[in-house]
């Protein structure tokens, strides 16, 4: 019996109550039909979360900083191996509970439009194209290569126009123009839908007046209508209850359930869909609408093989030995090393050489394992903090003194900071480790040290940490010694430009993050990460948080000088962009053009460089992007060698989104730019190689 016939037969044998029981995240068993109970809620943002031991990879924003689609897909493949292994073991034990299933509510492909958002760490940054490519790579690694036989089911969330404030998410109406909607907020969703993502999760907030999990415009018109999405839609958890309790769009649970179901939300994470039996009796929903939603969720379960004997699964052989295995641990280390961004390196201070015999490691993040996790994390068999990573590195280097002082606390603004750190005053090098962790930024309810529901009210380094850092800086300068600043966190941190001689941004680097940081500091690894989000110079540069207009936000629309631009990241070698050559002087709709970029490694270290291709319309409108990322590739270049990298740009790379949200190709001159950071309105000199560019005409 084929799948669709099997679905129809199952539905035909169910009572109305049984049908409704399958539309909540805690789906009931129907033994007479061979349907086991199932809990749909599972997470694997950067490793299987909340289900025992698992490999903890770098946080999502760090994975984006690798600019490496192949690596991200490899990470996701490892995650889905562990997910299948856990599911196989759980089924053998009769465990059908939460966090042991195969439907994973990731990736988060919202746009990180404002660096104050605590959940921005879950995203792939501020750019729609980068978000699309990294999100797609993760989706492929999770779901596998056979769309009819899924390894696990991925979920694109939170649809749509969702990026804080956390404290308002249950009541907020995100208002944006159709231009911003289709130019910034929706492109990544469309890419994943076109590629076959199995599910889409609606957001908590309203968008343009409608609650996202009950939006006819978002779900019926765009998602199902224009894009032809065939998978299932799931609500965010208890978002449908918000319809009547917080948004005040409906008056009763049965009205909320009916609104969501009729709009196209198939599965409820929450407590409202059991009321669909009442909705049906009141004539608010039809049995046909219930059947449609039921068919979609059953189809997902059948694609995952949940109703078949376990031995029929191609992944049945995956067992406990797969989970947090040595191969996956090394992959986590590799991902961390590729994600770390070197922001500053005055006078080639890094990597450290053998002359540094007395090293002082200071600061509240150095020995803080929470700086490795990020949110939505699992538990590894071992976490290596930055202090431990430094200790491992110098363990076999006889004659090196490594001294540690916490110096100040991570959270409180009333604590004392102590720069009188004894023998550390006579160190050869000061390494200060500070920044953020999950207690300061994160999701509503999880960030226990945040006074703004997980968001930040300002993007500057917490002032008590800055106060301590300034004391250390003064002591170091007085002694004529350099200072290295290592920052942890999932969002931009604004710092004074002269506060350190070298600056490393480590993100939340996963279980072996401390080892990766030490590898960078001592030069065993050449840094190659790039910023997936602009680092503004101060909070004052940001538009109001609740304003969803893109004006003044991200490298595409920001007209002020940032601290560090999108795409930026230094290396221990030097690169030169030699030229860019286009295969044709013009391009028409439906055509493509090849861009060949020649670049050289002019330094002394073999290293990776990320070639970034931006397009800008020479005669752009006031609301158009200053430039837009249209392609990128990480390439390895041996020292002293040159390579040529080819990109194929379709006519869509030159599109303009008009006020109605339509994609149009406007005649005129365009500039194609190859660089290793985004072109910005105000130039930022940070040691990056000069970009190269070429002109092309749309007739």
Catalytic positions: 236, 441
Q: DSSP characters for 124-164?
A: --S-HHHHHHHHHHHHHHHH-S-TTS-SSB-EEEEESS---
Provide CB contacts within 8 A for 571, sequence distance 6+: 342, 526, 527, 528, 603, 605, 607, 609
Provide CB contacts within 8 A for 317, sequence distance 6+: none
Reduce the DSSP state of residue 4 to 3 states and report it.
Answer: helix
Provide CB contacts within 8 A for 331, sequence distance 6+: 55, 57, 74, 75, 78
Reduce the DSSP state of residue 488 to 3 states and report it.
Answer: strand
H-type alpha helices, 230-286 = 239-245, 253-263, 276-281
Half-sphere exposure of 387 (CA within 13 A, CB side): 20
Q: Which two tokens stand for residue 213?
A: 């999990």
Place of tokens 């940070």: 686
Say which DSSP state 226 is in: I
Say which DSSP state 53 is in: B
Q: Which two tokens stand for residue 119?
A: 């959940």
Backbone angles phi, psi at 434, to 5 degrees: -155, -175
CA proximity to 349, closest of 485, 528, 482: 482
Please check whether residue 144 is in contact with residue 94, taking contact to mean a CB–CB distance below 8 angstroms: no
Q: What is the C-alpha to C-alpha distance for residues 28 and 38, in angstroms, rounded to an integer?
A: 7
Q: Quick one: which H or E segment has residue 545?
A: none
Please check whether residue 118 is in contact with residue 441, taking contact to mean a CB–CB distance below 8 angstroms: yes
Q: What is the C-alpha to C-alpha distance for residues 214 and 105, in angstroms, rounded to an integer?
A: 19
Provide CB contacts within 8 A for 575, sequence distance 6+: 599, 600, 601, 602, 603, 609, 637, 676, 689
| Beta-sheet pairing, 38-39 with 26-27 | antiparallel
Backbone angles phi, psi at 435, to 5 degrees: 135, -130
Q: Which two tokens stand for residue 288?
A: 């046909």
Provide CB contacts within 8 A for 353, sequence distance 6+: none
Q: What is the C-alpha to C-alpha distance for residues 74 and 190, in angstroms, rounded to an integer?
A: 23
649: β partners: 593
Report in angstroms the alpha-carbon separations of 54 from 110, 487, 514.
Answer: 25, 25, 18
Backbone angles phi, psi at 64, to 5 degrees: -65, -35
Backbone angles phi, psi at 642, to 5 degrees: -125, 150
Burial of 216 (0-12, 13-18, 19+ CB in 10 A): middle
């Amino acid at each position: 019996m084929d799948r669709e016939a099997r679905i129809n037969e199952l539905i035909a044998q169910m009572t109305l109550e049984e049908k409704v029981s399958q539309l909540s995240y805690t789906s009931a068993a129907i033994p007479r039909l061979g349907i086991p109970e199932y809990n749909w809620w599972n997470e694997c943002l950067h490793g299987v979360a909340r289900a025992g031991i698992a490999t903890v990879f770098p946080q999502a924003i760090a994975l984006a900083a690798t600019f490496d689609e192949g690596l991200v897909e490899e990470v996701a493949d490892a995650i889905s191996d562990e997910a299948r292994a856990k599911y196989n073991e759980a089924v053998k034990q009769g465990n059908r509970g939460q966090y042991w299933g195969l439907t994973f509510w990731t990736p988060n492909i919202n746009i990180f439009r404002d660096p104050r958002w605590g959940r921005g760490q879950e995203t792939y940054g501020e750019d729609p194209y980068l978000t699309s490519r990294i999100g797609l790579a993760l989706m492929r690694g999770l779901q596998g290569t056979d769309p009819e036989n899924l390894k696990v089911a991925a979920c694109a969330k939170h649809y749509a126009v969702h990026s804080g404030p956390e404290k308002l998410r249950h009541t907020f109406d995100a208002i944006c123009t159709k231009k911003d909607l289709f130019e910034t907020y929706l492109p990544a969703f469309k890419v994943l839908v076109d590629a076959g993502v199995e599910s889409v999760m609606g957001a908590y907030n309203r968008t343009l007046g409608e609650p996202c999990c009950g939006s006819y415009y978002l779900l019926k018109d765009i998602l199902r209508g224009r894009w032809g999405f065939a998978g299932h839609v799931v609500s965010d958890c208890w978002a449908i209850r918000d319809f009547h309790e917080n948004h005040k769009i409906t008056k009763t649970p049965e009205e909320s359930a009916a609104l969501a179901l009729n709009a196209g939300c198939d599965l409820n994470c929450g407590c409202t869909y059991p009321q669909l039996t009442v909705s049906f009796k009141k004539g608010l929903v039809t049995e046909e609408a219930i059947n449609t939603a039921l068919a979609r969720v059953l189809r997902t379960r059948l694609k995952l093989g949940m109703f078949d004997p376990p031995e029929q699964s191609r992944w049945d052989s995956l067992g406990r030995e797969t989970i947090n295995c040595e191969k996956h641990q090394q992959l986590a280390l590799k991902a961390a090393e590729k994600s770390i961004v070197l922001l500053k390196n005055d006078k080639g201070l890094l990597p450290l050489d053998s002359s540094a015999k007395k090293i002082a490691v200071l600061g509240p993040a150095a020995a803080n394992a929470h700086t490795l996790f990020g949110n939505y994390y699992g538990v590894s068999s071992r976490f290596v903090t930055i202090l431990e990573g430094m200790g491992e590195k110098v363990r076999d280097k006889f004659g090196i003194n490594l001294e540690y002082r916490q110096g100040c606390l991570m959270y409180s603004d009333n604590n004392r900071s102590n720069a009188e750190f004894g023998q550390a005053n006579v160190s050869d090098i000061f390494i200060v480790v500070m920044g953020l962790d999950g207690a300061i930024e994160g999701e509503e309810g999880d960030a226990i040290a945040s006074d703004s529901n997980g968001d930040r009210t300002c993007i500057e380094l917490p002032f008590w940490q800055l106060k301590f850092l300034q004391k250390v800086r003064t002591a170091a300068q007085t002694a004529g010694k350099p200072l290295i600043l290592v920052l942890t966190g999932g969002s931009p941190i604004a710092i004074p430009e002269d506060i350190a001689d070298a600056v490393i941004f480590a993100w939340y680097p996963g279980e072996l993050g401390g080892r990766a940081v030490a590898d960078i500091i001592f030069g065993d690894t050449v840094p190659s990460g790039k910023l997936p989000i602009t680092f503004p110079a101060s909070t004052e540069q940001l538009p109001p948080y609740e304003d969803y207009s893109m004006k003044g936000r991200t490298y595409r629309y920001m007209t002020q000088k940032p601290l560090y631009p999108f795409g930026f990241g230094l290396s221990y070698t030097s690169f030169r962009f030699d030229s860019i050559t286009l295969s044709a002087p013009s391009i028409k709709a439906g055509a493509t053009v090849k861009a060949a970029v020649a670049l050289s490694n002019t330094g002394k270290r073999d290293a990776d460089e990320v070639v970034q291709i931006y397009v800008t319309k020479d005669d752009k409108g006031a609301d158009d992007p200053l430039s837009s990322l249209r392609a990128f590739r990480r390439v390895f270049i041996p020292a002293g060698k040159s390579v040529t990298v080819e990109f194929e740009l379709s006519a869509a790379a030159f599109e303009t989104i008009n006020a109605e949200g339509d994609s149009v190709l406007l005649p005129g001159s365009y500039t194609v730019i190859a660089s290793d950071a985004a072109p910005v309105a105000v130039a930022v000199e940070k040691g990056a190689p000069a970009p190269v560019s070429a002109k092309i005409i749309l007739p």
